[in-house]
Amino acid sequence: MTRISDAKVRATHVSGMSTDIGIEFGMLLDIIRGREPDVELAPHSTRLRLHVQTVLSFLAGGVAGMVVYEAIGTRLLFAAAILLFAMAITAIIRARTEGNQITTR
């Protein structure tokens, strides 16, 4: 289905990215073996690299989160909540400031 719909980004996180890795790897093999003569190699290798980096980043983030949680416990959750709250407040203030500038012009 991914090949037929020409999907750019998978909606199913790691399992979809793993599927895309297989698809792009298969396309690269077909291009290298000459089965897809009119297709360029560069876009497929770029997408393959992106998908692999995404899956590895997801894995590294999960492992890092587990290690930090083991080290500091539930304080990690409070630290994450405070960080997200600060980011949200900053975005809200910026949006309101930009909104006021637009209405006063």
CB of 40 within 8 A of CB of 13?
Answer: no
Q: What are phi and psi of 89, to 5 degrees?
A: -60, -45
**Alpha-carbon torsion (45, 47, 51, 54), positive or negative:** positive
CB of 44 within 8 A of CB of 31?
Answer: yes
Tell me: the pLDDT tens digits for 29-77?
Answer: 988 888 877 778 888 889 899 989 989 999 999 999 899 889 999 898 8
The amino acid occupying position 14 is V
Q: What percent of the chain has pLDDT over 70?
A: 82
pTM for this model (two decimals) = 0.61
